[in-house]
């Protein structure tokens, strides 16, 4: 552990209010002194948004929410905010809805209060994204960080168990990969370890009793920490691999993350004993891999990329595509051979070692 | 563990730059675009401040630093800032120096960059304090939170070992007490646990080799986290007890904290198993008390209040004075009997149980 680092803590209020999103949201809106609220929520979540924002001084509800925030969609939301002279944006929804509110905040400077309905995590970061045709542009701006986030795990009770687990394992990957990502520091590692602890406790409870909000509360808290740590630490080897597999071969996001993570951990742990010790402590196991494998077994997580559309013949192509993006900070040396062995093991679902 | 809480994360950059305070400070000043810097540093730390601020656009050095920031002292610093038309305050020093910069920021809104030379922790909080005669006023204001903090452990190499240990144990008490303080939440507890881990690793290294900066780096990092957690969680039972003992009987601050902490932990641990498990995990021991006692033994920490001027006959008076301030959030029930037994044990240095 070295203590030579820069860490930027993002200032934000978070309110965990299980079963009480409306009350908590009203308090945040009042705290910000807002009088003209624009609500952003997809048409599919209109009823939920109405319930959560009941009693607020809402002057406009904007329901055109599109994945990856196309520029014309952002422009229309910005125009609506100007037209209705709003002084606060309230987003109720998943990553696309939060992203739309951020796009409006980016040009208007309007404050955002986010009420997430998935474990996406965008609400805890100052990263924005916009797409123009096939091109996605992302950036970092202090204005897009929501001032407050209201987390209410009961809003996620309708999220199916398999999606909850996939989303939770994605958050877990954020935590594990944060241990050796390019900008990581001891604070990121500590928050990521707390995220692992919470996800490891919460996710099995969701599987055991999908109707009990307690597991979802714990997983939601873990997903929040995952987002905070990941936003600060950046993408490590795991996310670079998954980014290529998802983008180049259209593999499903969640399953890819679930399968690849233990192989990256098995590769890096021997070269990063401090990180592995932290992960192990968070799981309460002797090694990080032991904890991760036990959790994956309990969750019946996907185990092989070949079950999810990855073709063995494309491994050499994948190796070539991934290699240039391997972070210099990665603890283990990553040669073409190392990467090929890792992908082959992940393809067939071999025991990670 | 419940997940119903509000947490306000304070936005701040922290830079840990061992041996490189001047370079790191210059980068922070440039990042803020400052052109007219006022340096605040006591006369005793004038040379250190000169070295650290060498090359900055300094228009005024203010060296009237007084403990607890008397109002007239603050007024003179504010007048100097106005007279010299400064656009940034840079404090180099301990809690009193940081406190003076905060007093100027409170009325002027000027940004502060803090370069701490002790483990005081004020630089990580939005709390200000001023004294008028014998009356101390404190408050919370976003404007007084330093924008950036530059931590350079080599600036603390001149701090004597006994003072380093006392200051470090004080930080450790912040961490442990944060586990059950009135506004605590899981995030505070996670940061406090990381602080315990770092202080437990760093403090013995300071004792073993006072000239090696590594132990001081780790302890400084732990003290920073202690301040963040404590500022968010508030004062728990331990700090209420020490506040009365220090204020009413003039007992030495550091020794009082060092002696009292294990008795509070022994009292609360059975009623707060989650908190105790976190503390134990951070120490790497079976129970929190086991870890704390092992650390105290290694540091040869003070063990009995009677060695530090506490009179057995005043115990009933102390019990009466402490009782009204016992936080309702304290996990163990605190009756007059419980408090009397605790104080008697701490007075004689009995084994905490």
The total of other beta-carbon atoms located within 10 Å of residue B309's CB is: 13
Please give the pLDDT value at position B166. Answer: 86
Please give the pLDDT value at position B1. Answer: 59
DSSP class of residue A180 equals S
Which residues of chain A have a Cβ shorter than 8 Å from any chain B Cβ?
1, 3-18, 153, 186-187, 190-191, 193-194, 198, 217-218, 220-221, 225, 281
The total of other beta-carbon atoms located within 10 Å of residue B39's CB is: 26
Please give the pLDDT value at position A163. Answer: 86
- Let me know if B47 is exposed, middle or buried by CB neighbors in 10 A (0-12, 13-18, 19+): exposed
Residues A81 and B221: their CA atoms lie apart, in Å, by: 44
- Which two tokens mark B73? 């002292």
Give residue for tokens 């014309």. Answer: A72
Q: Name residue A116's beta-bridge partners.
A: A93
DSSP class of residue B313 equals G
- Which two tokens mark A46? 């209109």
Please give the pLDDT value at position A330. Answer: 97
* Helix B213-233 / helix B186-208 crossing angle, nearest 10 deg: 150
Please give the pLDDT value at position A56. Answer: 98
**Neighboring chain B residues of A147 at a CB cutoff of 8 Å:** none
**Neighboring chain B residues of A191 at a CB cutoff of 8 Å:** 190
* Bridge pairing between strands A58-62 and A37-40: parallel
Residues of chain B with pLDDT under 70: 1
What residues contact A262, with CB distance under 8 A and at least 6 apart?
A289, A292, A293, A296, A352
Contact B129, B137 (CB under 8 A): yes
CA distance B98 to chain A (A): 20
Q: Which of A3, A156, A225 to mutate to test the interface with B (most CBs of B within 10 A)?
A: A3
Q: What is the pLDDT of residues B97-151, one digit of tens each?
A: 999 999 999 999 999 999 999 888 999 999 999 999 888 899 999 999 999 999 9
- Name the strand (E) or helix (H) holding B85: none
Cα maximum dimension of chain B:
61
Whether residue A7 and residue B1 make contact (CB cut-off 8 A), yes or no, is no
pLDDT, tens digit only, all 353 positions of chain A: 579 999 999 999 999 999 999 999 999 999 999 999 999 999 999 999 999 999 999 999 999 999 989 999 999 999 999 999 999 999 999 999 999 999 999 999 999 999 999 888 999 999 999 999 888 899 999 999 999 999 999 998 878 898 888 889 999 999 999 999 999 999 999 999 999 999 999 999 999 999 888 999 999 999 999 999 999 999 999 999 999 998 899 898 888 999 999 999 999 999 999 999 999 999 999 999 999 999 999 999 999 999 999 999 999 999 999 999 999 999 999 999 999 999 999 999 999 98
CA distance B16 to chain A (A): 5
Which domains, and CATH codes, for chain B? Answer: 14-156 (3.40.50.1970), 161-348 (1.20.1090.10)
ipTM: 0.93
The total of other beta-carbon atoms located within 10 Å of residue A125's CB is: 20
**Neighboring chain A residues of B190 at a CB cutoff of 8 Å:** 190-191, 193-194, 225
The total of other beta-carbon atoms located within 10 Å of residue B335's CB is: 12
What are the phi and psi torsion angles at B14 (to 5°)?
-125, 135
**Neighboring chain A residues of B8 at a CB cutoff of 8 Å:** 11-13
Contact A23, B240 (CB under 8 A): no
Please give the pLDDT value at position A1. Answer: 59
> Looking at the whole model, is its pTM more than 0.90?
yes
What residues contact A250, with CB distance under 8 A and at least 6 apart?
A309
């Amino acid at each position: 552990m070295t203590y030579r680092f820069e860490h930027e803590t993002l200032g934000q209020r978070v309110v965990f209010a299980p079963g009480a999103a409306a009350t908590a949201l009203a308090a945040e809106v009042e705290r910000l002194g807002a009088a003209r609220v624009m609500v952003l929520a997809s048409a599919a979540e209109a009823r939920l948004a109405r319930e959560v924002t009941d009693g607020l001084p809402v002057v406009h509800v904007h329901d055109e929410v599109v994945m990856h925030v196309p520029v014309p969609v952002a422009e229309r939301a910005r125009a609506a905010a100007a037209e209705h002279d709003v002084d606060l944006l309230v987003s109720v929804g998943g990553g696309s809805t939060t992203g739309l509110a951020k796009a409006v905040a980016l040009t208007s400077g309007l404050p955002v209060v986010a009420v997430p309905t998935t474990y996406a995590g965008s609400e805890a970061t100052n990263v924005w994204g916009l797409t123009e045709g096939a091109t996605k542009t992302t950036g970092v701006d202090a204005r897009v960080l929501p001032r407050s986030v209201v987390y209410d795990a009961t809003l996620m009770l309708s999220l199916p168990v398999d999606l909850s687990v996939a989303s939770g394992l994605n958050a877990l990957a954020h935590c594990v990969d944060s241990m050796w990502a390019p900008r990581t520091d001891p604070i990121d590692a500590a928050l990521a370890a707390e995220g692992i602890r919470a996800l490891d406790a919460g996710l099995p409870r969701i599987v055991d009793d999908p109707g009990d909000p307690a597991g979802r509360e714990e997983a939601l808290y873990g997903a929040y920490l995952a987002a905070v740590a990941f936003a600060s630490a950046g993408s490590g080897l795991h996310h670079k691999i998954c980014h290529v597999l998802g983008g180049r071969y259209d593999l499903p996001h969640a399953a890819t993350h679930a399968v690849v993570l233990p192989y990256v951990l098995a590769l890096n742990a021997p070269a990063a004993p401090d990180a592995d010790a932290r992960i192990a402590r968070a799981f309460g196991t002797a090694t990080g891999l032991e904890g991760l494998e036990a959790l994956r077994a309990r969750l019946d997580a996907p185990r092989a990329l070949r079950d999810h559309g990855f073709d063995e013949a494309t491994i050499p192509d994948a190796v070539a595509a991934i290699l240039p993006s391997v972070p210099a900070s990665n603890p283990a040396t990553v040669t073409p051979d190392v990467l090929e062995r890792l992908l082959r093991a992940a393809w067939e679902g071999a025991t990670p070692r």
